[in-house]
A and B are shown apart, each in its own frame.
Chain A
Amino acid sequence: KQEVTQIPAALSVPEGENLVLNCSFTDSAIYNLQWFRQDPGKGLTSLLLIQSSQREQTSGRLNASLDKSSGRSTLYIAASQPGDSATYLCAGRSGYALNFGKGTSLLVTP
């Protein structure tokens, strides 16, 4: 079974900083890698999807990369804002299942 690990588990940064969230996975035969955001008590919002044939995807201040050979993905957030505070989850798709990490809880302080 695909195992997904996210580091760090929690992160606190001052507003304006650039930051990187890390995700590693054990099975390089993934179909895609998705990054999600989850606000407290809410469902998941899809941020970026990187297909297995792609190396990165960008949306606004977010950039996600994928290195299948090393089993790693990163989510880069530029110029962080307090509204970015949430839990960020990565998930690797193998077959029907999305296998999730436990998430990184991000706090951006004003």
Chain B
Amino acid sequence: ETGVTQTPRHLVMGMTNKKSLKCEQHLGHNAMYWYKQSAKKPLELMFVYSLEERVENNSVPSRFSPECPNSSHLFLHLHTLQPEDSALYLCASSQDPGGSGNTIYFGEGSWLTVV
């Protein structure tokens, strides 16, 4: 069982669709993250959750809605997206959201294409 699992791996959706990305971590960590990776750009932090509480929202449009029902699961709900939202969405976890000694572990990502 890999540490951080993301589903689906690939998703194609229309601009009027509603879909969700799912992330599950099996590492007993307290913090979970969503990152976006677009071509030619550095990874961008979207959201941070610590013990199911959102502690950072990095100016992300409201068409992206995160949900963290427990410390092991994280969702990203998608609604009325734009073609420029097509990217690789990466979920990650770490023991705590801060702290100098915490390695952050990433999932394999969900490739999203908006048509």
List residues of chain A with CB under 8 Å of any chain B CB. 4, 31-32, 34, 36, 41-46, 49, 51-53, 89, 91, 93, 95-103
State the total of A-B contacts with C-beta under 8 angstroms. Answer: 61
- Distance in angstroms between the alpha carbons of A51 and B103 in the assembled complex: 10
- Nearest chain A residue, comparing its CB with the CB of B55: A96
Q: Is the interface of B mostly helix, strand, loop or mixed?
A: loop
Do residues A101 and B42 form an inter-chain contact, with CB atoms below 8 A?
yes
Chain B residues bordering chain A, tally (CB within 8 A)? 27
Contact across chains for A52 and B100 when beta carbons are under 8 A apart: yes
> Which of B4, B103, B108, B111 touches A34 (beta carbons < 8 Å)?
B103
1/0 contact string of B68-104 vs chain A (CB within 8 Å): 0000000000000000000000101000011111111
* Chain A hits for B43, CB < 8 A: 89, 91, 98, 100
Q: Given A43-B108, A96-B48, A97-B58, verify A102-B41 contact (CB < 8 Å).
A: yes
Additional 20 contacts, C-beta under 8 A, given A4-B42, A96-B97: A31-B99, A31-B100, A34-B103, A36-B106, A41-B111, A42-B108, A43-B6, A43-B109, A44-B92, A44-B106, A45-B106, A49-B101, A49-B103, A51-B100, A53-B100, A91-B43, A95-B98, A96-B55, A96-B98, A102-B40
